[in-house]
Amino acid sequence: MQLFLAFAKAKTTTHLMEEHIVIIGNGISGVTTARHIRKLSDKKITIISAETDHFFSRTALMYIYMGHMKYEHTKPYEDYFWKKNRIDLKRAFVQIVDHANKQLQFADGTSMAYDKLVLAVGSKPNKFGWPGQDLKGVQGMYSKQDLDLLEKNAPDNKTCNRAVIVGGGLIGIELAEMLHSRDIPVTFLVRESSFWSGVLPEGESAMLNRHIKNNHIDLRLNTNLKEILSDENGHARAVVIAETGEELPCTVVGLTAGVSPNIDFLKDSGIELGRGIKVNPMLETNIPDIYAIGDCAEQHEGINGRRPIEAVWYTGRMMGETLAQTICGNPLPYNPGHWFNSAKFIDIEYQTYGWVYSKPREGETHFHWKHEDDTKCITINTETATGKFIGINNFGIRMRHEIFDRWLTEERSTDYVMEHLKDANFDPEFYTLFEKDIVAHYNKTYNKDIRVKSKSWARIFSRA
């Protein structure tokens, strides 16, 4: 007992002497950093957020509005988790980062000292200076506050008899789906000639255009916003379309033309900023002991063909995992593996592994297969000269991440991928499978004679 007490006391003392890691932002990046620092060390950890008391899944906000879940369900950890893991949570808005004194100043006038500071402050919706963009009823869809606002602006189709969404990306289509779930008529303005055509190849993008329209969303392609008109109370009453001058009456305008790093409060901090917070591959800013990760971090140069700013859920998580190692004495550069991502467009799921660009780059060829029901398709990107597999987009068919990651590492050929396509399928049991169709189409297109091998557990679970 004596011994135990002595031990406990020693532990408390070391704890008091541990350095204080302060993380601004309780999203996936900040929380992952905190969790991994705790796994690796006894450091004092504080997470500061102005948005919510607890970590929640931002990507799930749409499901709260749609009635699939409640806010509580979007919290990946029960509320006791933080205390149990000695991660202090503070609800506050950081106004000033005073790196000379290693201190934060909050909006309420109080302050907090740090030894190391992690900036994981996320994004904010883009606004491009449209007239009327700050009217009531005009909003983005990014934060918990945005969700609360939407609940107020568009609780039902009586309060909101039409909504217009500006910007054809992932948040745009999610917002359209959300409003549509409450029977609110939606007009969806997309600047490009086809939905998300800057990212997706033509066939896929065209299929999604049809899917959006099938869901009774009024999709307007090649359409730009000119201005948002106000009623006498400063509330949006209509939008004007640039190309035609058409006036679309509406009560809610969703601005979903992308997001950018949420860094306004750092303008005069001395931390080097570009579009985001500039970091090196160690995720360090120009100021010692200050790091930036997640949506708000901007690499001086993109790593492994990635963009300098990656506003993606899992990259935030990976930066958190990496930074925790660095902070706990195992300095590691951020070195993301093969690109992958996923999304869902109303009813059509999308996954991607490796690189598939909207148009094949020099020396690349796209192979495209689409099912006749118009909800499933794949595009495979191949290096023309060598036949090397570069990446796949799959819509309406689920694929195994581990398999494609391995094939990319092993630099397999597209022929090999075709031959072993059954190993990669991840659809639920009993689903109709399309490997034969796909490969038949591939054989016909390239005049080949590849036969699909049966699925093999041995191959699926063999370690590369």
Partner 1 sequence: MYAFAKAYSTKTPTMKAIKYTGLLIFLTGLAIFTASLFLGSFELTQENLDTFTQEKGIESEVLKTKLTERLVGKEYGTSFEMSSGIITALEEANAVHKEKQEWDKVVWEKPHSFSFGIVKKAGKGILKDNPGMMWFLTFGLGILGALLFILPNYVLLGPAGIKNNGIYHQSSTNRGLIAWLVLVYLVSFYLLLYFRADYVVNWTFILDPISRALNGGEASQWFVYGFLYCTIMVTMAVRMYIKYRHNKYQMIRTTSVLFFQIVFAFLIPEIMTSLNMPGYDFKNAFPLDYDFFFEWNLDTLTESGAIGLFILVWGIVLTLIIVPVMVYFFGKRWYCSWVCGCGGLAETLGDPYRQHSNKTMKAWKLERWLIHSVLVFSLVMTLVTLYCYFSGTDAFLGIKSQWIKDTYSFLIGAWFAGVIGTGFYPIFGNRVWCRFGCPLAAYLGLVQRFKSRFRITTNGGQCISCGNCSTYCEQGIDVRAYAQKGENIIRSSCVGCGICSAVCPRGVLKLENGPLDGRINPTDVLLGNDVDLMDYVNNKKSS
Nearest CB to partner 1, comparing residues 44 and 58: 58
Which amino acid is residue 450, in one-letter code? Answer: I
Say what angle helices 28-40 and 313-327 make with each other, to 10 degrees.
Answer: 30
Establish if 346 lies at the interface with partner 1 (CB under 8 A). Answer: yes
Q: What span, in angstroms and rounded, lies between the C-alpha atoms of 222 and 255? A: 16
- Shortest approach of partner 1 to residue 382 CB, angstroms? 22
**Closest CB 267 distance from partner 1, rounded Å:** 31
Query: Which of 20, 70, 9, 17 shows the shortest CA–CA distance to 45?
Result: 20
Minimum Å gap between C-beta 91 and partner 1 is 21
Position 187 contacts partner 1 (CB under 8 A): no
Among residue numbers 388 through 417, which ones bind partner 1 (CB under 8 A)? 398-402, 405, 409
Q: Does 432 bind partner 1 (CB under 8 A)?
A: yes
Nearer to partner 1, 313 or 369 (CB): 313
Query: Which of 89, 318, 408, 421 contacts partner 1 by CB under 8 A?
Result: 318
* CA–CA separation, 20 and 41 (whole Å): 12
Instruction: Name which of 226 and 306 has its Cβ closer to partner 1.
Output: 306
Strands (E), 205-339: 218-220, 225-230, 236-241, 247-249, 252-255, 259-261, 277-279, 290-292, 297-299
| Residue 330 found at the interface with partner 1 (CB under 8 A) | yes
Distance CA 284, CA 292 (A): 7
Decide: is 158 part of the binding site for partner 1 (CB under 8 A): no
d(CA 164, CA 138): 9
Here the contacts of 435-441 (C-beta below 8 Å, separation 24 or greater) are 437/369, 437/371, 438/369, 438/378, 441/369
Segment near partner 1 (CB under 8 A); pick from 239-247, 257-265, 266-274, 341-349: 341-349
Site string for partner 1, 207-236 (x = CB under 8 A): ---x--xxxx--------------------
Determine the size of the site formed for partner 1 (CB under 8 A).
61
CA dihedral 387, 391, 393, 394 (to 10 degrees): 80
The distance of closest approach from Cβ of residue 404 to partner 1 in the complex, given in angstroms and rounded to an integer, is 9
142: left (phi over 0), alpha (psi -120 to 50) or beta: alpha
Touching partner 1, residues 51-90 (CB under 8 A): 57, 59-60, 63-64, 66-70, 73-76, 78
In contact, 396 and 348? CB cutoff 8 Å: yes
Closest CA to 460 of 379, 387, 406: 406
Closest distance of CB 339 from partner 1, Å: 9
Shortest CB 111 distance to partner 1, Å: 32
User: And the tokens for 46?
Assistant: 């504080």
**Is residue 344 close enough to count as binding partner 1 by CB under 8 A?**
yes
How far is C-alpha 165 from the chain's CA centre? 19
Out of 240, 343, 440, 450, point to the residue binding partner 1 (CB under 8 A). 343
Q: What is the identity of the amino acid at 113?
A: A
Which range binds partner 1 by CB under 8 A, 95-103, 127-135, 252-260, 314-322?
314-322
Q: How far is the CB of 77 from partner 1 (least distance, A)?
A: 8
313 lies in the site for partner 1, by CB under 8 A: yes
Q: How far apart are the first and last CA of the chain?
A: 50
Q: Interface with partner 1 by CB under 8 A: which range of 41-49, 138-146, 250-258, 310-318?
A: 310-318
CA distances from 143 to 61, 64, 154 (A): 8, 12, 16
Residue 387: CB minimum distance to partner 1, A: 25
The reply on whether position 9 binds partner 1 by CB under 8 A is no
Alpha carbon 378 to its chain's center = 22
Select from 428, 447, 449, 454 the one that contacts partner 1 (CB under 8 A): 428
Q: Determine if 338 is a binding residue for partner 1 (CB under 8 A).
A: yes
User: Tell me, what amino acid is at 48?
Assistant: I
CA distance 145 to 52: 9
Given candidates 221, 242, 332, 450, which one binds partner 1 under the rule CB under 8 A? 332
Residue from the set 314, 357, 416, 446 that interacts with partner 1 by CB under 8 A: 314
What is the smallest separation between the CB atom of 346 and partner 1, expressed in angstroms?
7
Helices 170-181 and 202-214 pack at an angle, to 10 degrees, of 20
Q: Count CB atoms within 10 A of the CB of residue 274.
A: 13
Q: Are 273 and 296 in contact (CB under 8 A)?
A: no
Q: How far is the CB of 394 from partner 1 (least distance, A)?
A: 9
Are 176 and 212 in contact, with CB atoms under 8 Å apart?
yes
State which residue, 22 or 417, has the beta carbon closest to partner 1: 417
**39 is a contact residue toward partner 1 (CB under 8 A):** yes
Residues that bind partner 1 in the complex, under the rule CB under 8 A? 28, 39, 57, 59-60, 63-64, 66-70, 73-76, 78, 181, 210, 213-216, 313-314, 317-318, 321-322, 325, 330, 332, 335-338, 340, 342-344, 346-347, 349, 351, 398-402, 405, 409, 426-432, 457, 460-461
